[in-house]
Amino acid sequence: IYKMLNKQPNVGAKPSILDEYMDFETTRKVLRCSARTLHRWKDMGFIPFKKLEKKIYFLIADIELFISERFKEKPGDRKITLK
């Protein structure tokens, strides 16, 4: 899985399912919150997550939905872009 995350997609290639997920640290930066706060939201069930080999991943669509519900934005108003 780690090799796939660091792998550059081929031009014109179909997006990987991994392109739809963010790891814990990236999600924390996008939400501009502390690690403890993100763990709390995760543990309280506010944000669904997947755990793979001791690493936590969040679906980008779930993060966008959380932002829209939590901060009263409409879905699609704030798109998450990764550099």
Does residue 45 come out as left (phi exceeding 0), alpha (psi in the -120 to 50 range) or beta?
left
Q: How many residues does the chain have?
A: 83
Distance CA 11, CA 14 (A): 9
Angle between helix 24-31 and helix 60-70 axes, rounded to 10 deg: 30
pLDDT tens for the chain, 83 residues long, are 234 334 454 445 555 555 689 999 999 988 989 999 999 999 999 999 999 888 999 998 898 889 888 876 555 555 655 54
SS3 sequence, 31-54? HCCCHHHHHHHHHCCCCCCEEECC
